[in-house]
Amino acid sequence: MTKAGFVALIGEPNAGKSTLLNRMVGAKVSIVTHKVQTTRTRIRGVALEGESQIVFVDTPGLFQPRRRLDRAMVAAAWGGAADADVVVLLVEAQRGVTEGVARILETLSEIAADRPVALAINKIDRVRAEVLLGLAQDLNTRFGFVETFMISAEKGHGVAALREWLAQAVPEGPWLYPEDQIADLPMRMIAAEMTREKLTLRLHQELPYQMTVETENWEERKDGSARIDQLIYVVRDGHKGIVLGARGETIKAVSTAAREELEAFLGRRVHLFLQVKVRPGWLDEAERYEEMGLEFRDGDG
């Protein structure tokens, strides 16, 4: 009997959700960087385990929203959890029960009463065993988790046990996606996310979230290669200079790194062309949100 269902991975920014998703799915689908808050859209990865198909909803990290973009991301995260068949809360072992985790537990009580919620304590290799046990007990007194898993998403410890449990926990029914499909994000968006990851890594603190990347054009060539044109939107002229770098060195390095990753992902040659545009109001443009798969809410100022 086949099984299939949606699993929402929720947690604070940087708890390791994207790393866990990539480990579960076995391919790099969701962006992984050391920066918090890099996942903007609900990227779904599909994992197969026996007769079960597990569709992961990788939600943006849950945090206190300040701007319109923040609010859209938090709404998407809770929307993902509310729509899922199973929810997994990821908590970082060395951070423990932060204010953010406490807030998430309160909201979980409201939205997840009728579905199984599992706890996954991540990065267990960084703390002592007695600290882990204390944290697990504390969290389980605050919320009725059906299972607790100790994992290291980065190293793979405990991930197989979590995936096997999820395969049993999803409902019976036909598979939701063809077997060869890893993610339901269009390739244009995956390509844009790869470039954004490279920019984020390269620029560190300078331009965290005031920047977005869109794939403007994707052309399949006769020789089997692809030409991809992307636009990088920034909010002011000074940011454009930072993205370009001295003598264009930053944009060149970003372009090379993104192209190499795209070629590895697609298994063929890619010609990548990046252009930087200044759009002061992109954080308030509905179509930018649609490109990112987020809901644009009127009246969010």
Best CA proximity match to 114, nearest among 140, 144, 139: 144
Percent of the chain at pLDDT exceeding 90: 30
Q: At residue 41, does pLDDT exceed 50?
A: no
Q: Residue 3: phi, psi to the nearest 5?
A: -130, 150
Place of tokens 């996310």: 193
Q: pLDDT confidence of 167, banded at 50, 70, 90?
A: very high
pLDDT value of residue 76: 61
Q: At residue 291, does pLDDT exceed 90?
A: no
The residues spanned by each domain of the chain are 3-169, 187-291
Both tokens assigned to 265: 């992902």
Q: What is the CATH number of domain 3-169?
A: 3.40.50.300
pLDDT value of residue 151: 93
Q: Across residues 32-60, what is the average pLDDT?
A: 64
39, 45, 49, 51: CA torsion to nearest 10:
140
pLDDT digit string, tens, across residues 125-137: 999 999 999 999 9
Look over the chain and give the mean of its residue pLDDT values, rounded to a whole number: 80
d(CA 61, CA 40): 9
**6, 55 in Cβ contact below 8 A?**
yes
Percent of the chain at pLDDT exceeding 70: 75
pLDDT value of residue 40: 44
pLDDT digit string, tens, across residues 170-218: 999 988 777 665 554 567 777 888 898 888 888 876 664 578 888 888 8
Reading phi first (left if > 0) and then psi (alpha if -120 to 50, else beta), residue 97 is in beta
pLDDT digit string, tens, across residues 72-109: 665 665 565 667 889 899 999 999 998 888 888 888 87
pLDDT value of residue 36: 42
Class of domain 187-291: alpha beta
pLDDT value of residue 39: 45
Q: pLDDT confidence of 59, banded at 50, 70, 90?
A: low
- Helix or strand (DSSP H, E) at 9: strand 3-11
